[in-house]
A and B are shown apart, each in its own frame.
Chain A
Amino acid sequence: MKLEYLVAVVVILFAAQFFYGVANNPGSEFGGADGEAENVIAAIDPNYEPWFGGIGFEPPGGETESLLFALQAAFGAVVIGYTIGYYKGKGEKN
C-alpha cells in the first residue's frame, strides 16, 4: 500500500498547487494552454490566419464537448478496469 499513499500525497499536493494558482490568478478561468499559445502566435504574427479547418465535427457548445471528453475517459477506464480485474480474478482462482 506504500505506493498508494505516495500517490495520494501527490494528489493532495496537486490540489494545493491548484488552489495556490487560483489565489495567484484572480479572475482566471484556467483556459487551455493551447488557447494561450494562439495568443502568442497572434502577438508574433498578427496577420496569421489558420489556413485550414472545419473538416471534423465541432461540438456546438461546452455541454457536448464535455460529453465527448467524458465518453473518451469512460471508454478508457472500462478497458483498464475490465482487463486488470479479469486477470486479478483469474490469478486468484488458480
Chain B
Amino acid sequence: MHIFEGFLPSPWWQIWFAVSIPVIMYGIYQMNKLVRERREIVPLLAVAGAFIFVLSSLKLPSVTGSSSHPTGTGMAAILFGPAVTSVLSVIVLLYQSLFLAHGGLTTLGANVFSMGIAGPFVAYIFYKTASKAGMNFYLNVFLATAIADWVTYVVTSLQLALAFPFEGSVFASFKMFALVFATTQVPLAIMEGALTALIMKYVVQVKSDVLVGLNVLTSTTVAKLKGAME
C-alpha cells in the first residue's frame, strides 16, 4: 500500500526524491557492474525482481479488517543489498502507478524510499549480523524479511506524519497512521517472511554456487543446508 498520487505536499515529495535518487543511481551502477562481472547472477536478479512483482500484487486481508500487500523486497535485499533492491522496486512501483493508479509518480520518491531502501537496508543489516552470529539460515531470512516488510510501513507512516502533523504534532499523527499501516502489516510480514524463506530454499537447492559468490552464504553453510535436504 503506497502513498497515493498527489498525497504528499511540497516540500515532502521533493525531499524523498532527493533522498532516493542517489541510492537508485548507486544501485544502477552496482547492478551494471554485477551483470558485467558475473553473468551467472542475471537469472537470480530476474527471480528477485519477479518475486517483488508477485508479492506486491497480492492484496492480503489482515485481522484488522483491512487489506494490504507484502513488499517482496527481502529476497533481493539479502542477495544483492539495498541499492540494487531500490532499482527493482522502482520498476514495480512505476508499473503500479502508471497502469493501476496505485501509488503515484509524485509520491514515487517516498514510496521507493520506504519499500526499496529503508526496509531492504534494515533486512540487509539484520541478515549480515545474524548470519555472522550463526543464526539458522532460514530463520534469518524469515526474520530479516518480516522486519523489512514491517519497517517499510512504519516508514510510510512516518512519511505521512511528517507531511500531515496532527495539531502540530508529528508524533500524534505518526501514531494515527501507524495504527492503520503497521498493525495491518503484522500478519502480512509473517506470511512474507515464510514465503521468502521457502523460495530461498529452492535457490540454495539449484544455485548455491552463486550464493557463495555473492557472499550470501559460505560454502560450509551451503554444504550443511544441502545435507539437511537429502
Q: In the bound complex, do residue B164 and residue A41 qualify as a contact, i.e. CB atoms below 8 Å apart?
A: yes
Q: Can you give 12 A-B contacts (C-beta < 8 A)?
A: A11-B191, A18-B63, A31-B66, A33-B66, A41-B7, A44-B164, A51-B6, A51-B9, A59-B100, A76-B50, A84-B202, A86-B43
The interface size of chain B toward A, counting residues with CB under 8 Å, comes to 68
Residues facing B in A10-40 (CB within 8 A) are 10-11, 13-14, 17-18, 20-21, 24-25, 28, 30-38, 40
A83 nearest CB across to chain B (Å): 5
B131 interfacial contact with A, CB 8 Å: no
- Which of B19-27, B113-121, B193-201 is the contact stretch? B193-201
Classify the secondary structure of A's interface with B. Answer: helix
Chain B residues whose C-beta falls within 8 Å of the C-beta of A30 in the assembled complex = 61-62, 65-67
A-side interface residues toward B, CB under 8 Å? Answer: 2-4, 6-7, 10-11, 13-14, 17-18, 20-21, 24-25, 28, 30-38, 40-41, 43-45, 48, 50-53, 55-59, 65, 68-70, 72-73, 75-80, 83-84, 86-88, 91
Question: Of all chain B residues, which has the CB nearest A34?
Answer: B1
B160 nearest CB across to chain A (Å): 6
Q: Residue B64 contacts which of A7, A14, A21, A70 (CB distance < 8 angstroms)? A: A21
B95 interfacial contact with A, CB 8 Å: yes
Q: In the bound complex, do residue B101 and residue A57 qualify as a contact, i.e. CB atoms below 8 Å apart?
A: yes
B166 interfacial contact with A, CB 8 Å: yes
Known: A33-B180, A83-B50, A91-B206. 10 other contacts (CB 8 A): A14-B191, A34-B68, A37-B1, A50-B7, A52-B105, A52-B106, A55-B105, A70-B57, A83-B43, A83-B47
Residue pairs across A and B with CB atoms within 8 Å: the count is 180
Given contacts A17-B187, A18-B61, A56-B105, contact A79 B47 (CB under 8 A): yes
CA distance A84 to B9 in the complex (A): 44
Chain B residues whose C-beta falls within 8 Å of the C-beta of A21 in the assembled complex = 61-65
Question: Of all chain A residues, which has the CB nearest B68?
Answer: A33
Q: Residue A33 contacts which of B5, B95, B181, B198 (CB distance < 8 angstroms)? A: B181
Question: Of all chain A residues, which has the CB nearest B166?
Answer: A44
Q: In the bound complex, do residue A76 and residue B104 qualify as a contact, i.e. CB atoms below 8 Å apart?
A: no
